[in-house]
């Protein structure tokens, strides 16, 4: 349905889109995971956002949650996950050109050359020619023995590699060893994540930063105590290094498996002021956990992505009324 029809019927005032990567080149640690925006596509998104929404800051969102202000009728806050170096080199200059505020959510384990998240490392290995064309039957047999067996829905090589779970780090390292690929050297050579100096530069530009867990773990696979530990570790690291304010957190992957007990703990103890999920324009059971809209995995323009999201929100609203 056209955006101008469904937006007022949806009951949604704040829209929070999220991105991970913006680049015009192949990015080994991301390109095998999802389609991301080119600079031209991202610029078109931002230009459209600037024409159709009132940009608001993270501080204004938290003030609204605290009852200190009312947000504009159709407002927007841009967010970016994972803390890749393109956020400083590519994204920030475009946002500055349009005067759009944003928050960058960082995995503290990977700043300053600290490594790669599990699925980013798998994406790098999927780029290796030897994985697709092993040089010998011995290598083929070793690779085949490491990968999860073909199953319904995950029969391709890519699917089998990406089905290596977050907890199976030893398999990932063994796979890299058979391919004779040094993941640590890849990190040193490419510097995929932001440095502390670049993060400080983003703050100086007027952007806000938040945590995205320590090492991009999947929260649905963690116990409550592990979820809290991941959150505390990342927030406390950012607080000590950058004095972050407000205190914001974006769940890696999604907020599935996160209970009310978690939210009660982090908000009652003042660890967080606001958190963000990835479920689109729907309300979460906790009022301080705001769902966001993915702008990736597609070439669809921003207007169409949001029209679909507003339509979904409108139907949810009608069913619950």
How distant, in Å, are the alpha carbons of 89, 248, 256, 274 from that of 103? 15, 9, 22, 12
Say which residues have a Cβ less than 8 Å from residue 140's Cβ, sequence separation at least 6.
134
**Distant-in-sequence, close-in-space partners of 321: CB < 8 Å, separation ≥ 6:** none
Give tens-digit pLDDT for 157-198.
888 899 998 888 899 999 999 999 999 999 999 999 999 999
Mutual orientation of helices 169-178 and 118-126 as an angle, nearest 10°? 20
CATH 3.20.20.370 range(s) for the chain read 11-84+101-115+192-222+233-320
DSSP 8-state symbol, 34: -
Question: What's the pLDDT score for residue 321?
Answer: 66
pLDDT tens-digit profile of 209-244?
Answer: 999 999 999 999 999 999 999 999 999 999 999 999
What value does the mean pLDDT of the chain take? 94
The DSSP code sequence of 71-140 is --SSEE-EEEES-BTHIIIIIHHHHHHHT--EEEEE-GGGTTTT---HHHHHHHHHT-HHHHS-SSHHHH
**pLDDT at residue 147, rounded to an integer:** 86
CB 313 within 8 Å of CB 281: yes
Cα–Cα distances (Å) from 105 to 52, 162, 271, 286, in that order, read 25, 23, 15, 20
- The residues near 142 (Cβ < 8 Å, ≥ 6 apart) are 178
Please write the tens of the pLDDT for every residue from 5-23: 888 888 899 999 999 999 9
Question: In the predicted model, is pLDDT for residue 4 greater than 80?
Answer: no
CB 253 within 8 A of CB 218: yes
CA distance 36 to 233: 29
Check if CATH label 3.20.20.370 holds for domain 11-84+101-115+192-222+233-320. yes
pLDDT tens digits, one per residue of 120-148: 999 999 999 888 887 777 788 888 888 88
194 Cβ neighbours under 8 A, 6+ residues apart: 83, 84, 85, 87, 88, 104, 106, 111, 202
Listed in sequence order, the residues at least 6 apart from 113 whose beta carbon sits closer than 8 Å to its beta carbon are 187, 188, 191, 193, 195
Does residue 58 register a pLDDT over 90? yes
């Amino acid at each position: 349905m056209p955006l101008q029809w469904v937006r007022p019927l949806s009951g949604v005032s704040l829209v929070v889109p999220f991105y991970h990567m913006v680049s015009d080149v192949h990015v080994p640690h991301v390109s095998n995971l999802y389609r991301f925006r080119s600079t031209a596509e991202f610029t078109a998104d931002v230009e459209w956002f600037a024409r159709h929404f009132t940009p608001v800051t993270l501080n204004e969102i938290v003030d609204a949650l605290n009852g200190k202000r009312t947000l504009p009728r159709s407002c927007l806050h841009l967010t970016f996950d994972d803390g890749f170096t393109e956020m400083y080199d590519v994204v920030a200059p475009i946002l500055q050109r349009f005067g759009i505020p944003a928050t960058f959510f960082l995995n503290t384990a990977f700043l300053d050359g600290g490594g790669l998240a599990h699925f980013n490392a798998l994406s790098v290995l999927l780029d290796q020619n030897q994985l697709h064309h092993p040089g010998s039957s011995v290598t083929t047999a070793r690779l085949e023995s490491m990968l999860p067996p073909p199953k319904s829905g995950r029969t391709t090589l890519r699917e089998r590699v990406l089905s290596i779970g977050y907890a199976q780090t030893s398999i990932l390292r063994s796979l890299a060893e058979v391919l004779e690929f040094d993941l640590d050297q890849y990190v040193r050579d490419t510097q995929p994540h932001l440095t502390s100096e670049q993060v400080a530069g983003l703050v100086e530009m007027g952007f806000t930063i938040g945590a995205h867990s320590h090492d991009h773990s999947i929260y649905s696979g963690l116990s409550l105590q592990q979820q809290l530990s991941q959150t505390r570790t990342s927030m406390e690291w950012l607080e000590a290094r950058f004095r972050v304010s407000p205190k914001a957190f974006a769940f890696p992957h999604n907020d599935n498996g996160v209970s009310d007990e978690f939210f009660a703990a982090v908000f009652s103890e003042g660890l967080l002021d606001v958190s963000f999920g990835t479920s689109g324009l729907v309300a979460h059971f906790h009022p301080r956990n705001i769902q966001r809209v993915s702008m990736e995995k597609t070439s669809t323009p921003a207007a169409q992505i949001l029209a679909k999201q507003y339509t979904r929100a409108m139907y949810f609203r009608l069913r619950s009324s």
